[in-house]
Amino acid sequence: MHGEIIAIGDELVSGKTVNTTSSFAARKLFDSGYSIRRITVVGDDIPLIEDCLHKAIERARFLIITGGLGPTADDITNEAVARALSLPLRENQQILKKISECEQHHGISYDETFRRKLSMLPEGAEVLNPEGHAAGYMLMHAGIPLFFLPGVPNQLEDHVVKQVIPRLREILGAGKSVIQKTFKIFGLSEIEVNARLSMIESRYQGLSIGYYPNFPEVHVTVTLKGESSEETRNACSDACRAIKHALGLYVIAEDNDTLESVTGRLLVERGAMVSVAESCTGGLLGQRLTDVSGSSAWFDRGVTTYTNRAKEEMLGVPHELIEKHGAVSAEVAVRMAEGIRRLSGSAYALSITGIAGPTGGTDRKPVGTVFIALSTPEKTKALRFFFPGGRDKVRTTAAETALDWLRRNLTDGSYIPGYKPS
């Protein structure tokens, strides 16, 4: 059931655009039991595309070709396919109709080049979604389905889910059954996670454990592929239990959950809300908490007090305290958290103040120094951290650490974050 992806576009081989679409397609296919063996990325170059098509057709059971279907001069996929497979290009009535509808809708008129570019498809092409806007199509060639999909992410995603996978089921039959479980870990490095799990991997045969750094987290995937007997399913559950045991509270979320969705659920369970006071993260912590739909049930408010005056005026941090300890200090972090907790009346509050860099560091407080405070109905505690990396990484790790600290506190009442304080 192995397929291949060919992604076409100068923007991909020149590194201008990251190839997220191939990853999306590969993941959706994998989850449905069809896997991708090879992804080839080439520029807008007809002979090169021809070569890739020929070779892939010899190897794969199905092919997905993305990009180069648009109306601009560099869109040459149709021409390359026609040449590679010796097929004439024919005007497609469904696409012409869509173009007219689009013209009417927007009150514009496309020129003939544009119209021809979009509507001339290789003979035998079946438009995948005649109702939709993007003209992905399927061609059967030597018994192999070739799917030509638009390169624009949301159009491609829609085609993969609604068109490609259902058709693969019809043509190739159901994919192999796959049991897959993902654990998201924060606070341990990839090597540390690996060290804790290496014994488990060897204990269960037929299971594969993958380690994927996903900054600032490490994701661990347990995969069981093939005929799933009750025995193998039990082995998988056993292995997952063993992994959770080995990693304990370092597991921040499983599968589609995230640190913020898990934290939100813990807050809802105890009917509590959280508010945040940020400085160097500039709103990132609030943004993450509100990434989750329904977050109004647990997130009350946030302030980003970037200047000292804002810290004093909005959160009541005493001027003298900032003078004495500096804005980046445990004392100020505590007052920020307590300030927003008092203002909001939330049960929980988090604050972050630090030096994200690249400027602003000193010998005693180098770039990467961040103080985080957690204020709960019991007490307020601030810790000093040192996060390595550039501005982005410092901010990302700071927000993650703050969220993780709250999650741990809501789980076992402790005041120990996953990332070790410095």
In the region spanning residues 335 to 354, those forming contacts with a copy of itself, defined by CB under 8 A, are: 343-344
Q: Pick the stretch among 38-46, 93-101, 167-175, 407-415 that binds a copy of itself (CB under 8 A).
A: 38-46
Q: Pick the stretch among 123-131, 243-251, 262-270, 279-287 that binds a copy of itself (CB under 8 A).
A: 279-287
Site membership for a copy of itself, residue 290 (CB under 8 A) = yes
Site membership for a copy of itself, residue 256 (CB under 8 A) = no
Q: Pick the stretch among 67-75, 243-251, 374-382, 413-421 that binds a copy of itself (CB under 8 A).
A: 67-75
Tokens 């080049």 sit on residue: 113
In the region spanning residues 301 to 320, those forming contacts with a copy of itself, defined by CB under 8 A, are: 301-307, 309-310, 313-314
Q: Which amino acid is at 323?
A: E
Site membership for a copy of itself, residue 104 (CB under 8 A) = no
Q: Are 149 and 156 in contact (CB under 8 A)?
A: yes
Site membership for a copy of itself, residue 387 (CB under 8 A) = no
Q: Which is nearer to a copy of itself, 291 or 412 (CB)?
A: 291
Of 171, 251, 240, residue with least CA distance to 200 = 240
How near is the Cβ of 175 to a copy of itself at its closest, in Å?
13
Cα(first)–Cα(last) distance of the chain, in Å?
A: 50
How near is the Cβ of 412 to a copy of itself at its closest, in Å?
27
As a whole number of angstroms, the distance between CA 196 and CA 181 comes to 17
Contact flags string 6-35 toward a copy of itself, x per CB under 8 A: ----xxxxxxxxxxx-xxxxxxxxx----x
Considering only 33, 67, 286, 417, the residue that binds a copy of itself (CB under 8 A) is 286
Contact flags string 168-187 toward a copy of itself, x per CB under 8 A: --------------------
Q: Which is nearer to a copy of itself, 299 or 381 (CB)?
A: 299
| Residues ≥6 apart with Cβ < 8 Å to 330 | 371, 373, 382, 383, 384
How near is the Cβ of 413 to a copy of itself at its closest, in Å?
26
Q: Are 145 and 171 in contact (CB under 8 A)?
A: yes
Q: Are 259 and 184 in contact (CB under 8 A)?
A: yes
As a whole number of angstroms, the distance between CA 338 and CA 342 comes to 6
How near is the Cβ of 61 to a copy of itself at its closest, in Å?
15
Q: Which amino acid is at 409?
A: N
Q: Pick the stretch among 68-76, 85-93, 131-139, 403-411 that binds a copy of itself (CB under 8 A).
A: 68-76
As a whole number of angstroms, the distance between CA 245 and CA 282 comes to 36
Q: Pick the stretch among 123-131, 140-148, 298-306, 368-376 that binds a copy of itself (CB under 8 A).
A: 298-306
Site membership for a copy of itself, residue 211 (CB under 8 A) = yes
Helix (H, G, I), strand (E, B) or coil at 367: coil
Q: What tokens does 75 get? A: 């869109």
Helix (H, G, I), strand (E, B) or coil at 352: strand
Of 73, 370, 78, 50, residue with least CA distance to 216 = 370
